[in-house]
Amino acid sequence: MLLLDKVVVVSGVGPGLGRAIAVRCAKAGADVVLAARTAARLDEVAREIVQLGRRAVAVPTDITDDTSAARLAETALDTFGHVDTLVNNAFAIPSLTNLLDADLDAVRAGLDTNVLAALRLTRLFAPALAEHRGSVVMINSAVLRHSRRPFGAYKMAKASLLALAQSLATELGPRGVRVNSVAPGYIWAESLRQYFAYLAKKRGVPPQQVYDETAATIDLRALPEPDEVADAVVFLASGLARAVTGQCLDVNGGEYHH
């Protein structure tokens, strides 16, 4: 129970990693504040957490909107009285076109959700986090470790998110607040399963072959599952990481070494 009676706020509770982070934190003993725009999904994950014996509050939120984000912070504090960890997981995939051709408004929209919204939420929660020597975890990506096309706009956003995490670690460290990042590579969840099925169909091979070929490029020969990535978040939020700040933990089965 690494997070017993801690309160964790998760932004971007979608079907993949966001849900896994919320549930793994609850399994580690935390009460959880769930934020995303789709209320029905938040309610579903909240029910799952309550069944685990922890408390959950679903707060439909658009993190790019000042008023909506402020309401999230108020609701979290009104409900639980304190906050120990903020996990900035929400993201919008920016246009997957080469940077030379990308629409600048689409690039800007990616930065709004991936970077500025994480800063907005961190500012809102900073006073509460400082009261409890809390922490922030930014969910980054293995796109940090390569520059392949057509991920230029995504890499711009995630590289900026890493810079944000490092600078916030310096700004918030004197107040006792740690700020770290987790950079997943492949995540073996529904969206990747569907993509591999599509690739397999296109090539006329079984989906397992696409999985095996991909896994062969990874030291551990397996694609990390959402819970395995979420457990790195639990570690960074916990007291075990009390002297760790400004760091990025890559969870990629050894696909890249950093």
Does residue 38 touch ligand NAP according to CB under 6 A?
A: yes
Q: Please, which of residues 215-234 interact with ligand NAP by CB under 6 A?
A: none
Residue 48 vs 62, nearer CB to ligand NAP: 62
Euclidean distance between CA atoms 149 and 192, whole angstroms: 18
Euclidean distance between CA atoms 150 and 95, whole angstroms: 9
Euclidean distance between CA atoms 45 and 64, whole angstroms: 22
Euclidean distance between CA atoms 183 and 250, whole angstroms: 5
Residue 130 vs 162, nearer CB to ligand NAP: 162
Residue 14 vs 134, nearer CB to ligand NAP: 14
DSSP classification of residue 218: S
Task: Give the closest residue to 135 by CA, choosing from 5, 244, 25, 14.
Answer: 244
Residue 192 vs 200, nearer CB to ligand NAP: 192
Is the separation of the CB atoms in 179 and 85 below 8 Å?
Answer: no
Q: How near is the Cβ of 24 to ligand NAP at its closest, in Å? A: 12
Catalytic position from the list 154, 186, 195, 211: 154
Does residue 141 touch ligand NAP according to CB under 6 A?
A: yes
Q: Which residue has tokens 């997957």?
A: 96
Angle subtended at Cα 60 by Cα 86 and Cα 144, rounded to the nearest 5 degrees: 45
CA distances (Å), origin 211, targets 55, 83, 141, 163, 218:
37, 39, 20, 33, 11
- The single residue among 48, 55, 92, 162 that binds ligand NAP, judged by CB under 6 A, is 92
3-state DSSP helix/strand/coil percent for the chain, to nearest 5? 50, 15, 35
Q: Judged by CB under 6 A, which stretch of 74-82, 118-126, 163-171, 182-190 contacts ligand NAP?
A: 182-190
SS3 call for 56: strand
Does residue 15 touch ligand NAP according to CB under 6 A?
A: yes
Is position 154 annotated as part of the catalytic site? yes
Distance of alpha carbon 144 from the chain centroid? 15
- The single residue among 31, 80, 89, 224 that binds ligand NAP, judged by CB under 6 A, is 89
Is the separation of the CB atoms in 126 and 177 below 8 Å?
Answer: yes
- The single residue among 2, 9, 17, 77 that binds ligand NAP, judged by CB under 6 A, is 17
Does residue 162 touch ligand NAP according to CB under 6 A?
A: no
Q: How near is the Cβ of 44 to ligand NAP at its closest, in Å? A: 11
Does residue 136 touch ligand NAP according to CB under 6 A?
A: no
Does residue 211 touch ligand NAP according to CB under 6 A?
A: no
Does residue 95 touch ligand NAP according to CB under 6 A?
A: no
Summarize as ranges the residues that interact with ligand NAP (CB under 6 A). Answer: 12, 14-18, 36-38, 41, 61-64, 89-92, 113, 139, 141, 184, 186-187, 191-192
Residues annotated as catalytic (active site), given as ranges: 154
